Amino acid sequence: MRSNRKRVERYLALVALLTIATAWWAGKEKQADRLSKKMEVFYPASSYQLQSLGENLWKVTSKKQGGTGFLATGSHKGYAGPVRMLVHYNRDLRIEELHVWSQSETPSYFSDVIKEGYLQVFPGKAIDEPFLKITETDGVSGATKTCQAIAHATREASAITARHTGEALNQSASPCPPLIGAREVILLLLFSLGIIIRLPGFQYKKQLQWIMLTGGLLFLGFVYASPLSLTNVNSILVGYWPDWQSELYLYILLAGILIILLTTGRNPYCQHFCPFGAYQQILGSLGKARSLRLKRRYWWTWLQRSLAWLAILIAVFTHNPGISDYVVFGSLFQFTGSHRLFILLGLVTITSLFIKKPWCNFLCPIRPITDYIRLFRLNKALSWKRKTNG
Amino acid sequence: MGIIEIFLQPLFWMIMGMLYALVIVSARYWARDLGLNMNWWKWLLTGLWFVMLSLFVAGGMTLIGENEIQGGIYFLGFFLVLMLILGVGLWRLLTFNRKKADA
């Protein structure tokens, strides 16, 4: 029975991988089509004449008003993926208007940026404007990376236009963030504690567990709001690899989880210092929460896995890592998210008082992903090799 | 203001007042029946929790009444969940070393 289940699990794992790869390929084909359609929406052939001047640059002439200008596109990495801007410059090389050509940010964060009128700050600015300063003064709190990406992408569009017109552009680069900051140090410390707690004979496991939980909740949760989310995983699957200099934290987190998971089969992040796990555990201790013993626990696991698979499938098909993310971390740690996520957070919070870690056990998409990675554990592969050799 | 509101509004507050009086008067009997060893600071905490709960419900309902429906729902949702967490904590505190009533 058990070996049958294992075999079925392996087949389904393969099916999941194949469907995700197919969705990625189909989505890529569709994306190019979507971009050209969007261009037609912003600058319809009936009102504008576009003449290509090279890659990502056009001369634009309004058929109604007769004015000419330039249209350029620029792109920069945001929170989940690239933000592509379409910038229209008038004859005086000032921004006439700008549009978001494509983006893959978390929907609720991106709609905040639009609602707060961040894009309205740009029109009228000269081509050599240091746009990053706009982010510092008019950026939307909680969506800094998205705002910076818009500013950088607009700057790139300006650089393309300036190269063509021969305009001198102030080349002052944005300051490069430090490689290792307090966030990365705390994460490394938590990983080290995660290894220490597993050492045989270590006496203060309970105390250390609480230190790690509190540290994870305070620092990775409330201070830095950096829990591992489905958007992070989707970004990598879609191919939007984060910039390693500014996102070293994410690389340390993923590498730490992967290495420890593949070698020991344990996931220190989920077990010891995931901020949302810590939140549930603290609430559970307060309400003396009990483990929910379900008769059909195995099927609940599959429901959780199916949800995660569907969310990843949607993200890779649309090439939008944040579109299907249903994690409630943002609603708790940054007070941002859709109404549905806030309702879900409320339900999870209340349930956590009476049932042990309901989010982790029944809904979290990270757990199915780590289960999947566990299939490729090194010692499993080695034991299989030993068996076949023996 | 219509004739119904003239009668209904005072009636609502009278019923509300009676319910509050009933809760306050019967609190010590509930505590005794539940086997809670109450002292002055436990009563103080319980009273504070109840006053805060009442204020948050009143605040949320006022926002909804003033047509700030979304604000009211968020206010109620946030503070009711917070009050539930504090309530569970308070219950743990009150039932610490509790003697069963039937024991």
SS3 content of chain B, % helix, strand, coil (to 5): 80, 0, 20
CB contact under 8 A, A286 and B74: no
Q: Examine the pLDDT at A388 and tell me if it is beyond 70.
A: no
Query: Averaged over A39-68, what is the pLDDT?
Result: 83
Q: Judge if ipTM > 0.90.
A: no
Q: Please classify residue A108 by burial: count the beta carbons closer than 10 Å to its beta carbon, then call 0-12 exposed, 13-18 middle and 19+ buried.
A: buried
pLDDT above 60: residue A385: no
Give the per-residue pLDDT at A192.
Answer: 93
C-alpha distance from B63 to closest chain A C-alpha (Å): 18
Whole-angstrom distance, CA of residue B95 vs CA of residue B91:
6
Which is it for the CA torsion A150, A154, A159, A161, positive or negative? positive
pLDDT 10s digits, A214-225 = 999 999 999 998
Q: Which residues contact B55 (CB under 8 A, 6 or more apart)?
A: none
For B52-92, the pLDDT digits (tens) are: 999 999 999 999 999 999 899 999 999 999 999 999 999 99
How many beta-carbon pairs below 8 A join chains A and B? 20
Q: To probe the interface with A, which of B85, B86, B92, B94 has the most A CB atoms within 10 Å? A: B85
With beta carbons less than 8 A apart as the criterion, state whether A88 and A71 touch.
yes
pLDDT in tens, B26-59: 999 999 998 888 999 999 999 999 999 999 999 9
Q: Quick one: pLDDT band at residue B103, thresholds 50, 70, 90?
A: very low
**E strand or H helix at A57, and its extent?**
strand A57-62
Residue whose token pair is 């002055």: B40
pTM: 0.79
Contact A286 B88 (CB under 8 A): yes
